[in-house]
Amino acid sequence: MRLYLDPASPLPLYHQLAEGIRYQIATGVLEPGAALPSLRDAARRWGVNLHTVRHAYASLAAEGLVRTQAPHGTEVVERKVRAAPAACPSP
């Protein structure tokens, strides 16, 4: 999984990381059930601190995009599509 982080950006690295993963989920690059790299592997891969990755993953988990289960790691969850509200009949 390729992500480009800009240390000179005013956006925090954890936000850039979460946004990159969020985009890959939204575009189908990361499908439900896809495993994200472990915290240590991700930190090494993207050249950031382990806590930066943890913060990004926690942000995505809070949005319901990923699920972390020890010792299995973090994976993309299936998004449930919400049905559109029924149209109210006009009087």
Predicted confidence (pLDDT) per residue in 25-56, tens digit:
999 999 999 999 999 999 999 999 999 999 99
Q: How far apart are CA 74 and CA 42, in angstroms?
A: 11
- Which residues make Cβ contacts (< 8 Å) with residue 13, sequence separation at least 6? 5, 7, 48, 52
13 pLDDT above the threshold of 60: yes
Q: How far apart are CA 45 and CA 3, in angstroms?
A: 9
Tens digits of residue pLDDT in 70-86: 888 999 998 765 555 55
Token pair, residue 9, equals 């950006």
- Residue 2: predicted pLDDT: 85
Q: How far apart are CA 74 and CA 35, in angstroms?
A: 6
